[in-house]
Amino acid sequence: MNIRTATILIAVLGLNACNGEPPRTLTGYAEGEYVSVAAPEGGWVSEMLVQRGALVNVGDPLFTLDADAQVAQRDQAAAQLKQAEAQLANLEKGRRPDEIAALEAALTQASANRTLTEAEYKRTLELKKRGFVSQAALDTRRAQRDAAAMQVNQTQANLALARKGARNDEIAAARAAADGAQAALARAEYGLSQRRIRAKVAGRIEDTLRRAGEFVPPGGAVVQMLPPQNVKLRFFVPEQQRSKVTVGTVVGVACDACAKNMKARVTFVASAAEFTPPVIYSVGSREKLVWMVEATPEGDLQLNPGQPLDVTLP
């Protein structure tokens, strides 16, 4: 509250006190709660898109910051996503056709080798029964036959695995990597979008705190806004009238060049009393206690911060 408003308030209180009646009409003023708009990350202001006094709606652009680093991060995340998706697709579809064909040819060769070693083993076994070959020669043929059979089994298993593709846990790991890359890309795109700041609420631009070419630290305010719903009344109630004012009380409001029969609803009443400002140097006035009260305008009441008001209690 400025000194002029406080002086008017004290004068009204003192005049009514001299008449022996508590004041019913009090002097107050309009108060604004400003919204400071900043960017999540710091950077150089590349463009200011609003001017002081401009009215903006939700979604209107306010200012932009340089975005070279954010564009590079977005491109990197997009490339990593493509890599992860390609790895997942490669694991899900199994081996290529030419690799399958190579394994099938290897199986055919292993089967033929098994047939040959089986026949040679049988001939050697007959010769052993007749006493023409030694036991060592028979053992060698048996080992060759068994090795050929194992080679066939191994080749069959490799072919079946190639046709199935990767294991489920490998595919799950690749899918999780692709999901993580997708989330990283979304985060990078969000960071890029935050280089062009838009209004989250409608209101009037009260001040532009930066200019194009200035560096803004993280969280540094660039624009100051005043939404119309953030304008409220503030007045002080003397001790004699304190009981008449509670949250929800409707009070009358009057101001210069304003419409008649305007109303406001009390939204806050201070729990602690305070002394009136010592702008009138009399002991009686200085010892009077008042309570700060805030009220929200109703209807189409348009107020400006600092505007003096007359508040009529019920």
Q: What's residue 47's pLDDT? A: 94
Query: Please, which pLDDT band fits residue 2 given cuts at 50, 70 and 90?
Result: very low
Q: What are the phi and psi torsion angles at 297 (to 5°)?
A: -65, 150
In this prediction, residue 288 has a pLDDT band, given cuts at 50, 70 and 90, of: low
Model pTM greater than 0.85?
no
Work out the pLDDT band at 9, boundaries 50, 70, 90: very low
Specify the pLDDT at position 15. Answer: 44
Question: Which of 60-64, 113-117, 230-234, 286-290 has the least mean pLDDT?
Answer: 286-290
- pLDDT for 273 equals 81
- Residue 215's closest CA among 40, 67, 43, 62? 43
Supply the pLDDT for residue 18. Answer: 47
User: pLDDT by residue (tens digit) across 213-254?
Assistant: 999 998 899 999 999 889 898 988 888 888 888 999 999 888
What whole-number percentage of the chain has pLDDT above 90? 38
